[in-house]
Structure 1
Amino acid sequence: MTTILEQASQQSPEAAPARKFRLRGISAWAIRVLLGIVFSFPLLFMFVSSLKPDAQIFGDLSSMAAFLPVGDLSTENYQAVFERVPAARFLINSIAIAAVTVALGVLINSLAAFALSRLQMRGKGIILTLIIATLIVPFETLALPLVWWVNKLPWLEINGFSLSLTTGWLDTYQVQIIPFVANAFSIYLFHQYFESIPKELDEAARVDGAGWFKIYSRIIMPLSGPAIATVSILTFLPAWNSYLWPLMVVQSEELRPVMVGVQYFFQLNVSWGEIMAYSSMITLPVVALFIAFQRSFVNSIASSGVKG
């Protein structure tokens, strides 16, 4: 008996830190789960409400039933969405606009960041500072001058087998894409991530006869997966959520994105079940994109923060 007590007394000082560390880990996970539940409540309410009629939505607001799929559930609100607005067309437009904006944004911003990170030139720091300084200018102050400029820009229009030069980008797809391709924050993220890649790789490639574009496409970009994922998400979100700019420059219904379609549901008879159904449809792609790239997103932000 004495031997057992002596062994326990010898082990307790070493076991205490391990037990404390284990309890700390459990507490951290409990806090994360709790925060996850709290932040998921709005999404859960939106999706559950999209399956209920308006009367039941308001009737359940005073209880936890508002977050539970109980009562008169159906997909009638989703069917009504496609009857009330051209939702399929809006979704296709937003997917196309966001995809092209992301593709061009990754290319243009990464090239700009590569030049600032790798090429030897005077004033690189000043140029990067000026680029970052543009982030303090709100878009609302640039919207009206930008509308004037895009209305004066030329564009090649294809009519059958002939090309004609037209003036003005209003009411087109390109006016919703090109003004938002270059982004100061994306350039900054790429620049910070490129700085974390050893420049000895560039020197070895230059010795082997590789040019700068080959170094960019064969060495730097393949090593920059987290940065590409982060920039893709941060470019996709504004393109998908764009509302003010399309209202200003797009008049044709067949060119409008999904966010403009929200205002259709506040005309005449307002149906909150249909609004929740439409909101669920346009939220799902964003949630799916973030879940798919969340690990790369976190890694890139961590790398940029440490390097900065």
Structure 2
Amino acid sequence: MSATTRIAGTRPQATSGPLRRLAAHTLRILLVVFFASPIIFMAVSSLKPDRQIFTDLGTLKAFLPAGDVSLDNYRGVFDRVPAVRFLLNSILISAITVAAGLVINSLAAFALSRMRWPARKAILSAIIATLIVPFETVALPLVWWVNKLPWLTANGFQLVLTEGWLDTYRVQILPFVANAFSIYLFHQYFSSIPTELDEAARIDGAGFFTIYRRVVLPLSGPAIATVAILTFLPAWNSYLWPLMVVQSEGLRPVMVGIQYFFQLNVAWGQIMAYATMITIPVLALFLAFQRSFISSIAATGVKG
């Protein structure tokens, strides 16, 4: 009788397993649809004329490539703004910012996490404290400083010392190479790597830079991918800073180009097409490094 009771008692658990998984998958699908719907609407609307975009609003047709569908909006983007130039500028600025940021921030985090020297914890705390300061509060003082900074420029075969970084590529890159959050992420991940590896490398005669380059960095792939994504996003989406320091059209990034579509007559289809074009690199980067990104965030979250 007890055996029968036990067997009968296991049946609800056996049947609840598939139902629970079905409910979990259904919830995930609904969340994906909810968060992807703006992107789907943007991509679909980029194929429609303005009249049809407003006609389809409030119906499921807004998310379907149905009706008068064409690539005219994309052609109009290139006729209205120098989109290729803006894209190349943003790719250049973002790539250099990411590459330089990975080197500078990882070196700083290595010094703070793997080397023993006085006041390193206080300096790390000061670096993290800068995260609470919004960029808008330092934007105007930063403009003043970059306008006073010197730079060597080539004048024929001579190097001439000039003053001011405004209206250049460097003013869009160098102020954002060092990043407190990137240093923190690297510090947390480097701290999870056993220090015994450093000691073994020192026995073999390796210095700190060799340990950094051959021991710590090869084990920090997820952290590198995460910092690369988190550095790329603000560099690619930068709008306020280039608007303040760049006057030449040939130096402007993609986000500043959006304001071109609100001059004279507003073309919403072209705006959607332009937004779709500048969103694709961000999605491609995240999809390429999503596993490393998730594993790094998970590892960082469980460390002191």
* Fold in common (TM above 0.5): yes
RMSD, matched Cα: 1.6
User: AA paired with 1:245?
Assistant: W
**What's 2:295 paired with?**
299
My pick for the range that moved more, 250-259 or 12-21, is: 12-21
Mapped pair 1:281 → 2:277: yes
**What's 2:229 paired with?**
233
Q: Give the 3-state SS of the residue equivalent to 1:194 in structure 2.
A: helix
**What's 1:13 paired with?**
9
User: AA paired with 2:102?
Assistant: V
Q: Distance in 1 between matches of 2:11 and 2:113?
A: 50
Mapped pair 1:135 → 2:134: no
List gaps (5 residues or longer) in structure 2.
none
Q: Distance in 2 between matches of 1:240 and 1:155?
A: 25
Q: Residue by residue, what CA displacement relative to the aligned partner does 1:107-164 show, whole Å, maximum 9, x if unpaired? A: 1000000000011112222111110000010101100110011011111112343322
List gaps (5 residues or longer) in structure 1.
none
**What's 2:209 paired with?**
213
My pick for the range that moved more, 254-263 or 283-292, is: 283-292
User: AA paired with 1:168?
Assistant: G
Q: Distance in 1 between matches of 2:6 and 2:131?
A: 60
**What's 1:22 paired with?**
18
Aligned identity (percent) is: 69
**What's 1:65 paired with?**
61
Quote the offset at 1:6 in angstroms: 10
Q: With structure 1 as the length reference, what TM-score do the two structures score? A: 0.95
- 1:1-308 residue pairs with structure 2 within 5 A? 11-308=7-304
> In 2 relative to 1, CA 127–32 (structure 1 residues): closer, same or farther, beyond 3 Å?
same
Q: How many residues of Structure 1 are paired with residues of Structure 2 in the alignment?
A: 304
Q: Distance in 1 between matches of 2:137 and 2:6?
A: 70
Q: Distance in 2 between matches of 1:153 and 1:131?
A: 23
Q: Give the 3-state SS of the residue equivalent to 2:165 in structure 1.
A: coil
Moved over 4 A (4+): 5-10
Q: Give the 3-state SS of the residue equivalent to 1:177 in structure 2.
A: helix
Q: Distance in 2 between matches of 1:123 and 1:284?
A: 44
